Amino acid sequence: MATTAKTIWQDILENGVRKVVEDLSDAQAIEMTERFGTHNYHPLPVNVVRAKGAYAYDGDGKEYIDCIGCYSAVAHGHLSEFITKSVVEQLDKVTLVSRAMYTSELALFLKGICEFTGMDLACPMNTGAEAVETAIKLARKWAYTVKGVPKDKAEIIVAEDNFHGRTTTIVSFSTEQQYKEFFGPYGPGFKIVPFGDIDAVKAAITPNTCAVLMEPVQAEGGIIFPPPGYMAELRQVCTENNVLLIWDEIQTGFARTGKKFAWMHEDAKPDMMCLGKALGGGIFPVAAVVGLEHVMKVFVPGDHGSTFGGNPVGCVVALAAMAEMEQKDLCANSEKMGNRLLSKLKALPHKCIEDVRGRGLLIGLEVLEGTDTKKLSEAFIKQGLLTKETRNRTFRFAPPLIVDEKLIDQIVERASKALDAVS
């Protein structure tokens, strides 16, 4: 194995990157990652060397059903043939020119994503956190230039236990201690209210409130749903108070909950929406903010930008991802397969299960306090099931939206065998 930078580069130049990568054993890959990478993640002890559809494989050939799905980013399954083919074709044409020029790929992407979402304008970015930062900037400029909020006094209402990313602005309004500790000083301008409490939102609104920014479902918070009717009432409250409603649909969007977007389960159309993850087709980071013209038009040249945002490859990936989602009707499959998975998980007899909740193919299995979640996580791996604990002892089940009944039944069977280890 190469031991110096020079040897690594020579090996790559002589044999190609793919060959050098394939020569690494699982143990070597894990050791190298731990040795040279910052320890800001605690991965499962699984080294994925290839994946296809809903399955992933380690270097020993062990098969896993991927129920993490890159936190909903692999909605189409690993290596969708249509999306992959679209990217390969684009790589022979043009990949990156920056926003200093126009491209036909960006033009089609902007039109396509506006039609797909029912919004007026779009601002392309690369990651979900970038999309949230973009929405915050849009909301604040709208507050000062349209609503008339005194300069630097704009307030945004957010929810407890939120997760919108990890930038310094975003962690300023997180309530998860580890996300914030040692990263201050924190940015002002945010009010935090309990998730799902409409009265708390009403009480927090002032003349300086410019927006309410929330997830329709708190995925990282433990697959937490607001009370029925909450989203629609929040839309009404925002309208009555001239406040923007911003839904963060980075994880919940693009059919994950059985609708194109989770707000569609109620009459709760936002003024802006943050998008990412599944928009990249499981291949490439693509994100965007889409919204209504009255707020999106406040940006003028020089206000905001991104070197890679809206690049031709990303645009083609996103267009192919949305087209395949429509062609395969992944919304309907998500709803149907999600109902099957939810009902079968709820029927499991294991006494360690406290709750199973979900919508579409975003499902959380919460175990009782005192359950050995480390042992359960190891049991899931042993049974060939990739899932990871979120907050509150909840394990996420978010497989690709292409799953069928046979695969759902396999997930339940493997989950049941894993739960036997702690029941």
> What CA–CA distance (Å, rounded) separates 131 from 56?
29
Banded pLDDT at 423 (limits 50, 70, 90): confident
pLDDT over 70 at 3, yes or no: no
Reported as a single tens digit per residue, the pLDDT across 123-178 is 999 999 999 999 999 999 999 999 999 999 999 999 999 999 999 999 999 999 99
Three-class DSSP category at 367: strand
Residue 241: per-residue pLDDT: 98
**Span 135-149, pLDDT tens digits:** 999 999 999 999 999
Helix or strand run (H / E) with residue 287: strand 287-291
Nearest by Cα to 252 from 191, 144, 135, 331: 331
pTM for the model stands at 0.96
Q: Tell me which CATH code domain 13-73+330-419 carries.
A: 3.90.1150.10
Task: Please say if 277 is a catalytic residue.
Answer: yes
**pLDDT of residue 2 exceeding 70:** no
DSSP-assigned letters across all residues of 129-152 = HHHHHHHHHHHHHHIIIII-PPTT
Set 58, 161, 248, 271: catalytic member: 248
Catalytic-role residue among 163, 173, 195, 254: 163
Q: Is 248 a catalytic residue?
A: yes
Q: Is the pLDDT of residue 4 over 80?
A: no
Structure tokens at 126: 């690369």
CATH class of 82-327: alpha beta
Spatial contact of 246 and 272, defined as CB atoms under 8 Å apart = yes
The residue extents of the domains of the chain are: 13-73+330-419, 82-327
Quickly count: other Cβ atoms within 10 Å of residue 298's Cβ.
18
Predicted confidence (pLDDT) per residue in 336-373, tens digit: 999 999 999 999 999 999 999 999 999 999 999 999 99
Any catalytic annotation for residue 163? yes
Structure tokens at 146: 């349209």
> Mean pLDDT across the stretch 203-210?
98
Mean pLDDT of 234-261: 98
Please report which helix (H) or strand (E) contains residue 235, including its range.
helix 230-240
pLDDT of 267 reads: 95
pLDDT band at 319, cuts 50/70/90? very high
Q: In the structure, what pLDDT confidence band is assigned to residue 5 with cuts at 50, 70 and 90?
A: low
The catalytically annotated residue of 260, 277, 299, 308 is 277
pLDDT value at 6 more than 70: no
Give me the mean pLDDT over the 390-397 stretch. 92
